[in-house]
Chains A and B, each alone.
Chain A
């Protein structure tokens, strides 16, 4: 079926005239129509617009016009990326009816490359969470087992991609929000180096940690999407001003003599045995391909979660202060005065997790506490960066689990924020250091739930990281498995 094709395949078939973009769009839309009632991966689907855009692609092809890298590829967007079509809700009551007057830079780039945007996917409110249960519009379910969470915060994109309700999707990753749901849903997810992809139009959670990245069913698709969305943006001062390398040409060339580091700090306690053993097997595979496996140390990893839960809420408390009921977004019905307008609008518009993090962050930045929390967390950030710098003197890439566990049941952790925060234990340090990280499927549990391998690399090592991931993928079939019941019959 067309909706089961990878992004590269569907692009090639459209270019070759074997399928039309309209057919590809319809295939994804009907998969959504059939399956999304159970999954709730999407907050909004733009069926008419998608078909219109697809028609335009088909017409362009018929007219012999050059086609973009993503011509006709059906794509889903996390609902924290601003679009001039549909609402941009961040799965929050606060922005339920917010319509952006501008498109995010990545959205422009996707559409310029010919992508057909299907809809906006569910997330933990303002990307704060690891299970997509914190959505104001209800949770997303894991296509491998609808009793389970898809991970988060990009759970909607992960579930839609795994369930073949789009060819590929974009997510955003502040502390693991691409990689962890990719792992729990058995797909590929890449968080690029901080600054590689423009954040303009990504609704900010924690500005110094946020990155947009591809969520796909194969490594080649991740390379393709990254090729399109990466690059300097004059509208984002933190975006990297260098030209984008070619991620696609040498993708199939295996890395010779690669050194893979295994950090002691990313193993042991808290990791499910099935996860540990799948990771060990993946590492064995690389060894069999001629890789050298070395032990490395990341001694400050244990402070990662603590530092993250100071830095991210601090920035969030400031970034989210604009949602005040005055200019746009939810406003309380009958405020008594200005203070009441602020307080009531925010209390009504934000869910409990968002409120918790705003309070944490406000506290951490308060006079008298700033040095003890924020300044200290920044010091830990430096130490974590140094850890990686030292580790990457001894190895080219680090291999470890993405998530200590496979997908857990809905409600299992939602009552205990600390348990939920620990889902990010292997993913946050990557954001803190600004380095790229990627999840690839590397097995399944006895219960049939996916397990993910995380690869971490030095800044701007995406080109070689994708090749390393592709080496594994070419020799395994995990990524070709489909969740039952969510493909076209």
Chain B
């Protein structure tokens, strides 16, 4: 008897747990510096080391940053929150318990509007978000029989955000991660540098399979500690296929209701079982007697709410609705808050928004990309030494016909290399002030036509290539003029000449 070859109908359910390291100056429960680098065990103090007699003290700024994220995710902020000890033994956890929040998280239920790749969006429900402290790191060096412990990371404030299983594909899981990173960067609560583990993702995945009129729910698996968006998407895809295959191999076996934990091997591109449900830890949670419950006054929440900036999704909508940008343009410009802020400042100076958009996404984006180097892996448009005033003036110059759009590129390069230069002076300096002289333009047109007989022949004889050859010749004229010609005038003269040539033959 052959097994069924038809893949059954199924629905993917993914809920995400995300750990965000908060970029506070000091650690979650002590004044030791919160930062990376330096010698191992240099960012520590007696509290981080878990020495006898030490006590934790709450970092107010970490609570405020957590509240900002909670408010951005439309979460309820608890009026009273408390701290609990989560016990487990591991050498990177000096106290052998982690201070966390068990049953009274700072941020309660909320939701996030997640933009999808087709331009639509969906709502992802947030279950909760709570504060806790990070652990240190174990280092296993090749050839050594012992492991080394570095506690620099220990005690870093962590915000753990838990979603409902509202993500229905690996792509949605990745998009969610990316959007959350943007939100955290917008709020200034995290640098969001994935390679440094600023954000770590743990998707919980299972399938609802429709089989013989019944819905079979596969056992949930949690994939631990993913630190890139690509690995989130790949791990989810792998798990979906693995769970599906497991079901197909034995469709009549009722899946267990427990949750198992799996690790992701990025090289092999597969998940590996770490822990079955039966082996689940008993964390022996209980309220930390060293910390008093935290009362969050409405006034405090109000102050923090007032400081929550316009989020990426709202900004994208504004750019599309107010500035008439395409979804893609709005998405690109709002990717980084600093870039969008720069754009808004230039726009506020009255610059024509279409020209400004083209400047940002054209020459500015190109220059930023090219500026990236080994030292600075990413250079943002806002990192270039061009001010909002310069952007505004340059956009004006294009709009008014003072220079051609093509000339914007060399002028922009000039602005990057010459601090505080005036765009109009730069145009003069580079000889890029637009030329509207009839005779000069005619001369450029004739030059371009002489150099491109094939294009003229196409224009005359091949109706299918008529438009293309016209465009090509227009470009050739602009090139001949070194970008100084007025494109409008070029178009008029070129068309007149070509039409004349057509009638001549």
Contacts and interface: CB of A to CB of B under 8 A. Distances in A.
Contacts of A395: none
B52 A237 contact: no
Given A324-B96, A374-B286, A318 B85 contact: yes
A236 interface: yes
A101 B97 contact: no
Given A100-B51, A203-B53, A237 B286 contact: no
Nearest to A339: B89
- Greatest chain B CB density within 10 A among A95, A98, A315, A366 is at A315
Contacts of B89: 321, 324, 342
B289 A328 contact: no
B237 interface: no
B293 to A, nearest CB: 10
Contact of B290 (A104, A237, A362): A237
A236 B56 CA distance: 7
Interface string A225-248: 000000000111110000000000
A237 B56 contact: yes
Contact of B57 (A101, A201, A235, A365): A235
Contacts of A236: 55, 57
A372 interface: no
Interface in B56-102: 56-58, 85, 87, 89, 91, 94-97
Contacts of A365: 87, 284-286
Contacts of A208: 289
B49 interface: yes
Interface in A346-378: 362, 365-367, 370, 374
Given A318-B87, A321-B89, A327 B94 contact: yes
A293 B233 CA distance: 76
A220 B55 CA distance: 31
A307 interface: no
Given A318-B87, A326-B149, A365-B284, A204 B53 contact: yes
A202 interface: yes
A81 B52 CA distance: 9
Contacts of A338: 91
A82 B292 CA distance: 23
A103 to B, nearest CB: 10
Contact of A322 (B55, B94, B149): B94
A85 interface: no
Given A88-B52, A203-B52, A321-B89, A237 B284 contact: no
A374 B87 CA distance: 16
Contacts of B55: 199-200, 235-238
A207 interface: yes
A90 interface: yes
Contact of B286 (A100, A324, A342, A370): A370
B303 interface: no
Interface string B95-124: 111000000000000000000000000000
A342 B93 CA distance: 13
Contacts of B282: 366-367
B91 A326 contact: yes
Interface string B33-63: 0000000000000100111111111100000
A46 interface: no
Contacts of B285: 365
A471 B74 CA distance: 62
* SS class, residues of chain A in contact with chain B: loop
Interface string B217-240: 000000000000000000000000
Contacts of B367: none
B53 A237 contact: no
Contacts of B95: 321-322
Contacts, number: 95
B284 A366 contact: yes
A322 B290 contact: no
A101 to B, nearest CB: 6
A102 B290 contact: no
A41 to B, nearest CB: 22
B12 interface: no
Contact of A315 (B53, B54, B58, B289): B289
- Greatest chain A CB density within 10 A among B50, B53, B54, B96 is at B53
A342 B96 CA distance: 11
A314 interface: yes
A238 B286 contact: no
Interface in B264-288: 282, 284-286
B96 A321 contact: yes
A102 B48 CA distance: 13
B291 interface: yes
Contacts of A321: 87, 89, 95-97
A100 B289 contact: no
A388 to B, nearest CB: 20
Interface string A54-95: 000000000000000000000000000110000010100001
A293 B292 CA distance: 37
A301 B392 CA distance: 79
Contacts of B87: 318, 321, 365
A97 to B, nearest CB: 13
A321 B86 CA distance: 12
B53 A200 contact: yes
Interface string A440-470: 0000000000000000000000000000000
- Greatest chain A CB density within 10 A among B85, B97, B285, B290 is at B290
A201 to B, nearest CB: 4
Contacts of A326: 91, 94, 149
Interface in B329-370: none
A321 B96 CA distance: 6
Contacts of A322: 50, 52, 94-96
A440 B336 CA distance: 69
A324 B291 CA distance: 23
Contacts of B58: 237
A102 B46 CA distance: 8
Contacts of B54: 200-201
B49 A327 contact: yes
A242 B291 CA distance: 18
Contacts of B49: 327-328
A370 B103 CA distance: 14
A437 B442 CA distance: 105
Nearest to B294: A237
Contacts of B96: 321-322, 324
B336 to A, nearest CB: 38
A201 B52 CA distance: 7
Contacts of B94: 322, 326-327
Contacts of B51: 82, 100-102, 328
Contact of A314 (B91, B286, B292): B286
A414 B52 CA distance: 27
A82 B289 CA distance: 20
Contacts of A104: 53
A208 B289 CA distance: 5
A211 to B, nearest CB: 13
B290 A238 contact: yes
Contacts of B52: 82, 88, 90, 95, 98, 100, 203-204, 322
21 contacts: A82-B52, A102-B46, A199-B53, A202-B53, A204-B290, A207-B290, A208-B289, A236-B57, A237-B56, A237-B291, A237-B292, A238-B292, A318-B87, A322-B95, A324-B89, A327-B94, A342-B89, A362-B284, A366-B284, A367-B284, A374-B286
Interface of A: 81-82, 88, 90, 95, 98, 100-102, 104, 199-204, 206-208, 234-238, 314-315, 318, 321-322, 324, 326-328, 338, 342, 362, 365-367, 370, 374
Given A102-B46, A204-B52, A324-B89, 11 more contacts: A82-B53, A100-B53, A101-B46, A234-B57, A237-B57, A238-B291, A318-B286, A326-B149, A327-B94, A342-B89, A370-B286
10 tightest A-B contacts by CB?
A208-B289, A207-B289, A321-B96, A365-B284, A203-B52, A201-B53, A82-B53, A367-B282, A322-B50, A322-B95
